[in-house]
Structure 1
Amino acid sequence: MKPTLPARPDQILADAKFPELPNHYRGKVRDTYDLGDGRIVIISSDRLSAFDSILAVIPYKGQVLTQTARFWFDATADICPNHVLAYPDPNVVVGTRLDILPVEIVVRGYLAGTTGTSILTLYRNGEREMYGHRLPDGLADNQKLPTPIITPTSKANDGDHDAPLTPAEIVEQGLLSALQWETLSKYALALFARGQELAAARGLILVDTKYEFGVDRNGQIILADEIHTPDSSRYWFAQT
């Protein structure tokens, strides 16, 4: 029998505050501590966030999130280095401290989405040139793209909104060097291809996903945060 989570709907982790740990940062979902020695502790709470708001607290959501990311980090470690050092608890990952790159990377395989920066929203508004790509006329909602594309945006401050970027703008504005963009793009498309392959084997379609990258003290680009979780990705059932 496959292991299952215990039936404890009252057991929730709304916050993860530990006064003995330094440099606490509370995000929408995670509580992070910078240990000051090149390591960070990331604790996934049970907070559920959507559209930049905390909507609810769901029992074991943080544990499922951490363990789902763990599966994908393990399954893609041959493609791209990641920040993981240890998993001392089902909700916790200890990782390498990184300087997060100031560009949000979304890879899309389908004409889908609901936000103002999604390619479906922009396409419905009549735009065909977006994120450095040109999409043809006549595409239907949720249609598969000829090939997956990267749709980068700026990383907005709290209360602001991400803004679409082209690769040329990213380099011209000094957000990334040309070599960093080339490396990051290669990683992102390869990770997405692996994600689609493994999802398809389980009857799912990985429609689109968001990646977070940073650089370590040696300047190496590292995959951070999470990968291919329901918090960062859109999945469809392949049969329907």
Structure 2
Amino acid sequence: MSDCLEIPGVKHFYRGKVRDVYFFESGKVAMIATDRISAFDVILPRSIPYKGAVLNGIATHFLEASKHLVPNWYISSPLPFVSIGYAAEPIKIEMVVRGYLAGHAWRVYQAGSRELCGIKLPEGLKENDKLPEPIITPTTKEAVGVHDQDISAEEILKRNIVTEKEWDTLVDYSFKLFEHGSQLAANRGLILVDTKYEFGKDKEGNLVLIDEIHTPDSSRYFYRHEYNERQSKGLAQQQLSKEFVRQWLIENGFQGRPGDKIPVMTDEKVLEISERYMLLYEMITGKKFNRFAYPSQSEIVQKILSSL
């Protein structure tokens, strides 16, 4: 799954941190969610079995569920780890929506700052507290191996990354998706804590949602039934996200900083992470994850071609 496939009709190929994207002359794309895993904007040395299928399955689940609210790129999924859709020109920012003070936002707050991406944060908050209302804290979309950077709405407009009208649409779409995702999460006994959305422009210049949505790689979930009790007692929240991988890396001295050495990921650790991802799929979607035999490259190519 990590090798570049030879597919007739491809005019351009892009390799992201965890996805391979094939752009076709027809204006469609095939996105392969690989088993690569990244953290702190670094691709880790070992792949995680079924991770790509988990992410693709969760993403397609939510893309289908939200297409009545926000237009998106997705058409079909011919294989568990492959999606076919319409090409769009990516906008070089990520729309990060936060409903709670967690992760990066908490680290910034804990360091003493009361402002994130130009948004003022109230005093007296604890880690994982619910924010007065959801906020959008955009980041730049950087190249592989380069940390994405926080950016304010003012700076986005100043740099002419998007127009003011486009920005207003991105904000509207992001809040709609977050509200909808939060409702679906609540139905599963979960809290959608924060997430990121990526957008692009289709061939008519319309803004559309691209890439993944509400996956454990792009989102953080808490368990709803225990949130209030754990928060009142000052206990760490149990999370459904990739945060457990980040925490393992941090505990072993790696945060993507210059000079940091990636810890050795044993076969046992790889299996543990794989099982955690499959559990995430079932908890988030309510569907059973079906393990499968990986197809050959030629089989993948044929499946993609028959779906274009």
Query: Do the two structures share a fold, i.e. TM-score over 0.5?
Result: yes
Query: Structure 1, residues 126-161: CA drift from partner, whole Å, max 9, x if none?
Result: 111222211111111110001000001112233332
Runs of 4+ in structure 1 displaced over 3 angstroms?
A: none
Q: Distance in 2 between matches of 1:57 and 1:157?
A: 20
Between 153-162 and 84-93, the greater mean CA deviation after superposition: 153-162
| Larger RCO: 1 or 2 (CA < 8 Å, sep 6+) | 2
Match of 1:10 in 2: none
Q: 1:45 aligns with which of 18, 25, 34?
A: 34
Query: Structure 1, residues 31-69: CA drift from partner, whole Å, max 9, x if none?
Result: 111112211111111222222223332222211211111
Alignment of 1:39-188 (within 5 A): 39-55=28-44, 56-113=46-103, 118-188=104-174
Letter in 2 for 1:35: F
Q: 2:6 aligns with which of 5, 9, 19?
A: 19
Letter in 2 for 1:111: L
Secondary structure of 2:98's aligned partner = strand
Q: Distance in 1 between matches of 2:115 and 2:106?
A: 12
Match of 2:18 in 1: 29
Larger-gyration structure (1/2): 2
- Report if aligned partners of 1:101, 1:215 keep a CA contact under 8 Å in 2: yes
Q: Distance in 1 between matches of 2:3 and 2:81?
A: 10
Secondary structure of 1:141's aligned partner = coil
Letter in 2 for 1:221: L
Between 37-46 and 183-192, the greater mean CA deviation after superposition: 37-46
Task: Summarize the Cα distance change of 1:132–1:197 in structure 2 as closer, same or farther, 3 Å threshold.
Answer: same
Q: Distance in 2 between matches of 1:84 and 1:167?
A: 28
Q: Distance in 2 between matches of 1:71 and 1:83?
A: 13
Task: Summarize the Cα distance change of 1:80–1:108 in structure 2 as closer, same or farther, 3 Å threshold.
Answer: same
- Report if aligned partners of 2:192, 2:222 keep a CA contact under 8 Å in 1: yes
Match of 2:290 in 1: none
Equivalent residues, number = 223
Match of 2:285 in 1: none
Query: Structure 1, residues 45-96: CA drift from partner, whole Å, max 9, x if none?
Result: 1222222223332222211211111110011111100001222222111111
Letter in 2 for 1:237: Y
Match of 2:207 in 1: 221
Letter in 2 for 1:163: Q
Letter in 2 for 1:183: T
Letter in 1 for 2:86: T
Q: Distance in 1 between matches of 2:132 and 2:94?
A: 23
Match of 2:301 in 1: none
Q: Distance in 1 between matches of 2:61 and 2:73?
A: 14
Q: Distance in 2 between matches of 1:162 and 1:26?
A: 17
Letter in 1 for 2:16: G
- Report if aligned partners of 1:16, 1:43 keep a CA contact under 8 Å in 2: no
Provide the identity percentage. Answer: 47
Q: CA deviation at 1:16?
A: 4.6
Secondary structure of 1:58's aligned partner = coil
Match of 1:210 in 2: 196
Q: Distance in 1 between matches of 2:145 and 2:42?
A: 10
Between 53-62 and 64-73, the greater mean CA deviation after superposition: 53-62
Letter in 2 for 1:197: Q
Structure with more strand by fraction: 1
Q: 1:193 aligns with which of 159, 173, 179?
A: 179
- Report if aligned partners of 2:88, 2:201 keep a CA contact under 8 Å in 1: yes
Tell me the C-alpha RMSD between the 2 structures.
1.4
Provide TM-score, normalisation by structure 1.
Answer: 0.88
